[in-house]
A and B are shown apart, each in its own frame.
Chain A
Amino acid sequence: MAVVFQKTKGLTDKPFSYCPGCTHGIIHRLVAESLEELGLLDEVIGVAPVGCSVFAYEFFNCDMHEAAHGRAPAVATGIKRVYPDHPVFTYQGDGDLASIGTAEIVHVAHRGEKITTIFVNNAIYGMTGGQMAPTTLVGQKATTAPYGRDAAHCGNPLRVSEMLATIEGAVFVERVAVNTPANIRKAKKAIKKAFEVQLQGLGFGIVEVLSTCPTNWGLTPVESLEWLEKNMIPYYPLGNFKSPKEEK
């Protein structure tokens, strides 16, 4: 009997701690498969954030660090400067990366640090119970924006990929989503590409992945996928913002 699908070696046997229907799990799989397919699992060192994916260090089957909230890019910098020949990645949520850790993500890109960042944008603080994130959409309700986000009060949502693409040291920037099989395939391609760019020593690479949070959005998993498509993608357009030149 031929095996057509099996669990990647890039993940441990530890059961995920994610809510049913949460797309963090899909993104973990894509990262793990990419690492396995590129043959990097024996060498790679990953950095987990503070957020729902805080236990990523138990799920990825490779050496891992658990960083303080927002500081993963700095931790990854320390690791990469010690082991320039080892692939290094961070996995971060939108509260982690786009709020408390904005300085760290901007400067890891500014230095052109040769690491790969997987940025999971679910437009909310998942772990702490659904508070407003810088990425929360205008009108979207959150526990600290009970009337919906009001742009006059707290600004418009931050487009991180567009911002980072302006920085010289960021050489690969792409926004993907994991709401449909076709988009998941594109997401996988982008994640793999980001690691390849790192291996070529070209600079900093980031893949922003639009993701769902059924629990805090107050929607079913299926409704969440639809909500992502209808609301997030129009504000956060998918596509590649930057790629090394010769590859285009």
Chain B
Amino acid sequence: MAKVLMKGNEAIGAAAIKAGCKYFFGYPITPQNEIPEYMSRELPKVGGVFLQAESEVAAINMVYGAAGCGVRVMTSSSSPGIALKQEGISYIAGAELPCVIVNISRGGPGLGSIQPAQSDYYQSTRGGGNGDYFHPVYAPASIQESVDLMQEAFDVADRYRTPVMVLGDGMIGQMMEPVEFFEREAEKTEKPWATNGTKGKRKPNIINSLFIDPQALEDHNHRLEEKFELMKKNEVRVETFNLEDAEVVCVAYGTTARIVKNAIEICKNEGIQVGLIRPITLWPFPEAAFEEVSDKTKAYLSVEMSMGQMIDDVKIAVAGERPVEFYGRSGGMIPTPEGVVGKIKSILGRE
């Protein structure tokens, strides 16, 4: 298929339909409105269902119901709406159902702003709802990558029976780039657990996250833990760049990583070697990539569109072996390559 120029949000919708998603439940919120708008237009054409829910709370619970029926289903929202969905996401993780949640995030806390931000790192990667759970979080840095990761997200959701989040900052949702949709068969997964009527042929299927017996819940949590470990082993995605000679290694995800690449280019021209670790999965976090860093590296720099959230994971990965510095802008302010360069120079004591 030839490349087409598409807005991020619409490309995400198109990719979901290509991945076999036929059900969408959502509630309007800027800057992700083009996703439900696209789905309301396109899903009926493929025999699917778009339904605007009365709230994000209802939308994620509709997703819970549909996911329990064994179909590919998704919702999308932005930061305050994702906060409302956390109860449902916890239930979906507990009941082990597959679904995809897209978060085109904006600034916070509270109503915050409608401008791009990355201040949802905690609520995305820490299991924003109650209980011991994690789910994969993909952080695309371009529209092409958003499209590719949507397919991946649905496959991984089915394979592990888990909610999967695709986290794009507002820039991903709103900008236009040429994209190509690669034809790729959706992974087929049997779903014998789905509720579709017993037909008198099997015992009732029950979708549930309640384990009232403490031992039963601990056993369930151990089973979930095994699954999380398996995902940590198999599903980490990361891009590394210029690690061999780097004096400073930046860590950045999403569109911030693109800004950092520009900063790295400026540094190179001034004779400063800077590397990049770009987590594509924020959970599982690419800890192993930090082992590729050479003895030449003096420090890490976490660059984020937030007041500093991913830096916690960077510190865990670095485990005190080197200093971890931070550079961030928040509230919808975008970091500039020059700002990043300035921080790198100050770390190296080269003003």
Contacts and interface: CB of A to CB of B under 8 A. Distances in A.
Interface of A: 12, 41-45, 47, 54, 57-58, 60-68, 71, 74-83, 86, 103-104, 106-107, 110
B323 interface: no
Contacts of A43: 197, 199
8 A-B pairs with the lowest CB-CB distances in the bound complex, closest first? A78-B65, A74-B61, A78-B62, A63-B195, A75-B65, A78-B66, A107-B54, A74-B58
Nearest to A84: B49
Given A64-B195, A66-B206, A68-B87, 17 more contacts: A41-B198, A45-B69, A45-B196, A45-B197, A61-B204, A63-B198, A65-B68, A65-B208, A67-B65, A71-B61, A71-B88, A78-B25, A78-B69, A78-B73, A79-B66, A80-B65, A107-B58
A31 B36 CA distance: 37
A58 B206 CA distance: 8
15 contacts: A42-B200, A45-B195, A45-B196, A54-B210, A60-B204, A62-B198, A66-B207, A76-B65, A77-B62, A78-B73, A79-B68, A83-B196, A103-B54, A103-B58, A106-B54
**For chain B, what secondary structure do more than half of its interface residues adopt (helix, strand, loop), or is it mixed?**
mixed
B208 A82 contact: no
A92 B132 CA distance: 27
A133 B58 CA distance: 22
Contact of A78 (B64, B91, B204, B210): B64
A65 B196 CA distance: 11
A118 to B, nearest CB: 17
Contacts of B210: 54, 66
A74 B196 contact: no
B209 interface: yes
Contacts of B68: 65, 75, 78-79
Interface residues of B, number: 38
Find the residue from A65, A104, A107 having the highest chain B CB count within 10 A. Answer: A65
A47 B198 CA distance: 15
Given A63-B197, A75-B64, A77-B51, A82 B71 contact: yes
A54 B208 CA distance: 10
Contacts of B200: 41-42
Contact of A81 (B23, B54, B57, B95): B23
A74 B57 contact: yes
Contacts of B67: 78
Contact of A68 (B23, B61, B66, B196): B61
A42 B197 contact: yes
Contacts of A76: 65
B197 A57 contact: no
Interface string B246-266: 000000000000000000000
B209 to A, nearest CB: 7
B213 to A, nearest CB: 12
B40 interface: no
Nearest to B60: A74
Interface string B69-109: 10101000000000000011001000100000000000000
Interface in B185-241: 195-200, 204-210
